[in-house]
Structure 1
Amino acid sequence: MARQTGIIKLKGTIGDISFYKSSDGHLARIKGGPDANRIANDPAFQRTRENGSEFGRAGKGGKVIRNAIRVLLQNAKDKKVVSRLTKTLVAITKTDPVNERGARTIQDGDMGLLSNFEFNTNGKLGATLFAPFDVAFDRVTGDASLSLAPFAPTIRIAAPAGATHFKIVTGAAELDFPNEGSVFESDETAILPYDAADTAAIDLTVTVTPNSVLPVIQVVGVEFYQEVNGQMYPLKNGAYNALMVATVDTV
């Protein structure tokens, strides 16, 4: 892979060289490698097919998660969240002790590896919210809760420059990876002033399917706002909002 540095940036293919644009800039690479038919049928590529199958399954699993928490994720994500999430899910797939290589799944792996996953590396919850909080999930009732004792925002929250207000959000997602479906509910505080006065105690609860046998994740986040002439605006379009997987519960 090479970087294009000239004034004119190319896209497309010339001979064996492909020119393209990515998040890393304008790049170029030489086409090559075995053709698709050989990869699909040659015994020498059995391991490649197995890896490809599991990578594809991880990619679909990442889409299930992103679609499930879309309401919150659209306000708190970075440009590489898709690839980062897929990488984590590939690692989870590899821990599956039940299925054969190539058929391993996310739900049969150690989904605990998803705990503390940050959806926005530009605004990590672990570097934003310093107020202690408790999360709990009751599989029998389907209730997922978030609790914070009163705290002073300017002391317990590291807000980006320009923030005048914030809110705390949480959500729980019941994930059906085989059928690429989910159940999701979210809750949030009111928009609160970012000042030195203690907040009231915060208790948020959402409910998914009672007695579900599917994996459930709970996310916690902080969203920032700026007040201008009495109107609240998302600060820098949510560039520094935080959202993290706070807990993972499996049967």
Structure 2
Amino acid sequence: MAKQKSFLKVAGTLDGLTFYKSVDGHLVRTKGGVSKNRIMNDPAFIRTRENIAEFSTTAQSGKLLRTSIGTMLNRAKDPRMSSRMMGIMSKVRQLDGVSARGQRIVGEGILTAGGKQLLKGFDFNNRAALQAVFHAPYTLDTVTGEVTIPDFVPLDQLNVPEGATHVSFRSAFINLDFATGEFETQYSLVVNTILDMSSTTITLTPSQVPAGIGSQLYLLLIEFFQEVNGVQYPLRNGAFNVLNLLEIV
């Protein structure tokens, strides 16, 4: 894989070379390899077909999780979030100890303690990890989904980006069944506060406990804003915002 350095950027296939754009820039690679028909039918590629099948179901599980989070995800994510999640989901799938090779799924792997531990603490925006930004103790009630941050002092317990004047908090409680694809998400109200040295207790309570069966996920969103003439604007399009999967049970 090579990078295009010419001022004229090409996309498509030309003389056996494929030109394309990715998050790493404009790249070029050679065209070729085994035909799709052979991969899907030749007995020699049975392991490859198994890997393709598991890759597909794993990708679907990652998409399902992202969909269940709703608009919160748009407020705090990095360009490589999907690929980072895919890597973790693949490890979760490998913990499926009941399905045959080629049929292992995230829905089984996530039922294990190891699977939950792999996904717990996932930062959807690796430019703003929870542990790097948020330095306050908190409690999580896994029955109600309530997150409590007692005696919170913003300027003392946050790594505040330059230009920010306010911060808001919101939590989500998701009941997600990876096997069936069904989910329900409940959100707390947004709690917005000025960035100063005042002490306050932040309480984030989802509107209700989500219905259904499956894995229960608890997320925390932290957003920074800059106030100008009484209006709060998202700081740098959310580059400093935090979205973290606090717990999964």
What TM-score do the two structures reach when normalised by structure 2? 0.94
- Deviation (angstroms), 1:6: 1.2
What is the alpha-carbon distance in structure 2 between the residues aligned to residue 190 and residue 137 of structure 1? Answer: 20
SS at match of 1:150: strand
Q: Whole-Å Cα distance in 1 between the matches of residues 54 and 161 of structure 2? A: 39
**How far 1:234 sits from its partner (Å)?**
0.9
* Cα separation, 2, equivalents of 1:136 and 1:120: 24
Deviation at 1:30, TM superposition (A): 0.4
Determine what percentage of the aligned residue pairs are the same residue: 37
Q: Given the two structures, how large is their TM-score scaled by the length of structure 1?
A: 0.93
Aligned residue type for 2:140: V
**Equivalent residues in 2 for 1:58-69 (5 A)?**
58-69=58-69
SS of the equivalent of 2:86 reads: helix
Structure 2: gaps (5+ residues): 110-114
**For 1:97-116, what per-residue CA distance to the aligned partner results, in whole angstroms no more than 9, with x for missing partners?**
11111111112112331001
* Partner amino acid, structure 1, of 2:157: R
Task: Please list the CA deviations of residues 159-192 of structure 1 after superposition, one character each: whole Å capped at 9, or x if unmatched.
Answer: 1111000011110111132333321011144310
Deviations 1:81-110 (A, max 9, x none): 111111111110001111111111112112
TM alignment of 1:130-209, pairs within 5 A: 130-138=135-143, 143-199=144-200, 201-206=201-206, 207-209=208-210
Query: Mean Cα displacement is larger for which, 5-14 or 185-194?
Result: 185-194
Counterpart in 1 of 2:81?
A: 81
Query: What number of residue pairs does the alignment pair up?
Result: 243
Residue aligning to 2:96: 96
Please name the residue that 1:123 is paired with. 128
- 1:206-242 Cα shifts (integer Å, max 9, x gaps): 23335x4311111112111110001111111111100
Correspondence 1:104-123 to 2 at 5 A: 104-109=104-109, 110-123=115-128
Aligned position for 1:53 = 53
Question: Of Structure 1 and Structure 2, which has the larger fraction of its residues in helix?
Answer: 2
Structure 1 residue ranges (4+ consecutive) displaced by more than 2 angstroms after TM superposition:
176-181, 207-210
The aligned counterpart of 2:13 is 13
Q: Given that residues 185 and 210 in structure 2 are in contact (C-alpha distance below 8 angstroms), is that contact kept between their aligned partners in structure 1?
A: no
> Deviations 1:44-77 (Å, cap 9, x if unpaired)?
2111111111111111111111111122111001
Secondary structure of 1:69 counterpart: helix
Cα shift at 1:43 = 1.6
Task: Tell me the secondary structure at the aligned position of residue 144 of structure 1.
Answer: coil
8 Å CA contact retained: 1:163, 1:224: yes
Instruction: Say if 1:172 and 1:217, in contact at 8 Å, map to a contact too.
Output: yes
Structure 1, unaligned runs of 5 or more: none
Contact 2:152/2:202 (8 A) holds in 1: no
State the Cα RMSD in Å.
1.3
Partner of 2:221 in structure 1?
A: 221
CA gap of 1:56–1:115, structure 2 versus 1, over 3 A, is: same
Q: Which residue of 1 aligns with 2:112?
A: none
Which residue in the other structure is 2:241 paired with? Answer: 241
